[in-house]
A and B are shown apart, each in its own frame.
Chain A
Amino acid sequence: MAEKDHIATNNPEFFANLAKGDEQAFGIVFKIYYAIMFQFAKKFVGSDTEAEDVTENVFLKLLEEDTHFNDATHLKAYLFRAVRHACLNARKMAVRKTHRDRAFATWDANEEHDYLAQLARAEAMLQLRQAVANLPTQAKKVITLTYFEGMTNQEAADALELSVQTIKNQKLRALSLLRTRLTDEQFLLLLSLAALNY
C-alpha cells in the first residue's frame, strides 16, 4: 500500500482528530480520496458538475459529522457508500424533474453489482494513483510529461524550460531512482506507462 494511505491507516490519533473535525486531518483525507471519489461518482451520474456536487457534499458531511473511523478501510467504505447514496438521490431528483427516463428511477440488483464492481475498480485505481503521487517531485514532472502526456523530450524541455539534455538526464536519474528507491507498485506503474508509450 502506498505511503500516503498509510498515514491514515496506522494512526489512531489521526482518526480521533478527524472525528473532532480537525481541518488538517480532513485536508489529508480530502487530497487522498477526492479524485477517486469524483471518478466513482462519475460512473453513476451524468455530468462532471453533478459528480463534483455529489462528491463535495459527501466530504462536507464528513467534515460536519463526528464519525469515528477504525481505519482507512472503514473510512473508504463510508465514503464509497455515501457517494453512492448521494448519486442515487441525485438521480431521483432528476427523475422527478423529467419523469421520462424510467431507467434512471430504479436501483436494482444489477446496480448493486455495478456498485460493488466499480468500488473494487476505484480501490485498485486509488492504489495505482497513490504510487504516482509518491514519486519525487522532479521525477514526477518529467515522467508525467513524457509518459502520461506523451510529450517528446523536446516538448518536455520547452514546457519545463530545461534543455533536452537535462530532460534526458532527469529521466535517467528518475529511472535509476525508481529502480533503487521505489516500491514495487511504483516500478510496476512505470513499466505499464512505458508500455503505453511503446
Chain B
Amino acid sequence: MSYKYEQQAIRIGQLLVKQLRGTLTDGEAREITAWLKLSDRNKQVYEELMNDHSRQVSLQEEPPRPAEEVLPLLLAKYHQRKSGILSDHGAQSIRRIRKWLSYAAAILVMATVTTWFLLRDRIGNQQSKIIDAEEILPGGSRAKLTLADGSTISLDEAKEGIIVNEGNISYSDESREIVNLQSGIVDQLVLTTPKGGTYQLILPDGSKVWLNAASTLKYPSAFTGRERVVELVGEGYFAVAKDARKPFKVISNGQEVDVLGTEFNISAYADEKEVKTTLVEGGVQIVNRQSETVNKLQPGEQSIIRGAATDIHTVDVQQYTAWKDGFFYFNSTPLVDIIRQVGRWYDVEVDYDGNTPALEFSGKIQRSLQLSQVLRILEKGGVQFHLDGRKLVVRP
C-alpha cells in the first residue's frame, strides 16, 4: 500500500519543527510556503504551531489514561483474543450488557438521590469503609484578581462577587473597594478561580458572569470600543446586558460567541477537547474560528465545537447551568464527566484503576455536600471509590 500523502504530511510536520528551531534551508522554506498555499487547514495548523501559547496548550494535552496504563490492558485483550476466549462478538455483547447496566444504575441513582435527603442523617452516622480519611469539603467563593501590572489580589471568601465600576473595583455587595483604577485608562483585568472556587463578576456594562471552578475570564475595565469583548477559559454563565449598538463577544478556545443581550453558559476547559455553549434565552451566534462557520442557537440548544466541526443539538439546559445555582445536575451523564466535575469542585486528583466504568447517572446533588457524601451517592450506582489524601481512585 502506498502512503504517499501521509509521508508528505509527515515530512511537513518535521519541517515545521525545523522552522521552530530556525534551521530551515531555503529549499525547505519553499516547501512550507507551497504547502501553505494548498489549503486553509494547513494555514490554521501552521499558525497554531507557530504560536507559543497554543503550541504549549497542545503539548499539555494528554489522553485520559497514559500509554503505560493502557498497554497491559491491551496486551491482555490480545492474549484473550488469540486464545479465543473473547471474540469480537463477545466484546460487543459485553458492551451491550454494560450499557443496560448503566441504565439500571441511572434509575437506581435517581431513586437514591431522592431518598438520600430522607436518610442523610442515618447514612451520615454510618462508618464508611472507604472514606474515613480527613473530610474533603466542597469548594466555595474563591478567586484571584489580576491587575494590568500583573499584581494579584486574593478575593474575600466571605463575598460572592465583584463589580467593575468606573474608577474602581469593589465587592458586589458594595461593602468595600478592592482596588482603585486610574480613570481614562482601559486596563486588562483577569479573574481566576482555582479548583473548588467560583466567583461572580459584574462587568462595566452591567453584564453578569458566574465563573465556575478552575476558570479564567479576561475583561477590560471599561468597554470603550465598538464591541464588548471578553475571553474565557473554563466555564462561565453569562447574563449579558442588552446593548444593540455594542455587540458582546466571548472568545474561548477555538470559538467566538456573538450576542446582543441574553443568557447562556460556555464550558471551554483546556482539559476537555470540546467547547460547549448552551443557550438559556435570547439568541447567540457561534463562530467556529477554525472552520469559520457561523451557527445560530435557539434557546434550549447547545453547540459543541471540536476542532473544525460544530454540532448543534437540543439539551436539558439545567444540566449545564445548575452549577451556578449550587447543584450538580446529571441527565444520563457519563461517569467520566461527572468525576471530572467533582474533581474540579473538590480539588482532588482523579485516577482510574483499570477500565473506566461505562456508567451513566441522572439526578441532582448539592454542591455544598462534603466529597464523601457525594461519593457515597455515586457508589450506589455501582462504582467504587478510594480516597488517598487528595487523590480519588475510581474502580469499576
Contacts and interface: CB of A to CB of B under 8 A. Distances in A.
Contact of B70 (A56, A122, A148): A56
A147 to B, nearest CB: 9
B48 to A, nearest CB: 7
B307 interface: yes
Contacts of B65: 52
Nearest to B57: A196
B3 A78 contact: yes
Interface in B57-84: 58-68, 70-71, 74-75, 77-78, 81-82
Given A48-B273, A49-B356, A34 B336 contact: no
Contacts of B107: none
B6 interface: yes
B41 interface: yes
B55 A185 contact: no
Interface stretch (B10-18, B173-181, B316-324): B10-18
A17 interface: no
Contacts of A119: 6, 9-10, 13
A68 to B, nearest CB: 12
Contacts of A42: 273, 306
Interface in A64-92: 64, 73-74, 76-78, 80-81
A123 B23 CA distance: 17
A35 B49 CA distance: 18
Interface in A110-131: 110, 113-114, 116-129
Contacts of A35: 62-63, 66-67
B334 interface: yes
Contact of B17 (A39, A80, A124): A124
Interface stretch (A135-143, A161-169, A174-182, A187-195): A187-195
A93 B251 CA distance: 33
B368 to A, nearest CB: 27
A121 B45 contact: yes
Contacts of A185: 17, 21
A120 B70 contact: no
Nearest to B290: A114
A123 B5 CA distance: 13
Given A34-B67, A121-B48, A124-B14, A116 B5 contact: yes
Nearest to B41: A117
Contacts of B23: 184
A30 interface: yes
Contact of B41 (A56, A114, A132, A196): A114
Nearest to A41: B63
A74 B41 CA distance: 24
B52 interface: yes
Contacts of A123: 9-10, 12-14
A59 interface: yes
A23 B12 CA distance: 31
B38 interface: yes
A132 B56 CA distance: 12
What band does the interface of chain B fall in when counting residues whose beta carbon is under 8 Å from A?
Answer: 35 or more
A51 B56 CA distance: 21
B74 A193 contact: no
A38 interface: yes
Nearest to B274: A46
A120 B13 contact: yes
A156 interface: no
A183 B8 CA distance: 25
A63 interface: yes
A56 B55 CA distance: 25
A59 B67 CA distance: 11
Interface in B228-277: 273-274
B308 interface: yes
Contacts of B16: 120, 124
Contacts of A132: 59
Interface string A1-45: 100000000000000000000010011001100110011001110
8 contacts: A47-B334, A52-B64, A56-B74, A60-B81, A113-B39, A118-B307, A120-B16, A122-B13
8 nearest A-B residue pairs (beta carbon): A123-B13, A77-B3, A77-B6, A117-B41, A34-B67, A119-B9, A38-B63, A113-B39
Interface of A: 1, 23, 26-27, 30-31, 34-35, 38-39, 42-44, 46-49, 51-52, 55-56, 59-60, 63-64, 73-74, 76-78, 80-81, 101, 103, 110, 113-114, 116-129, 132, 148, 184-185, 188, 192-193, 195-196
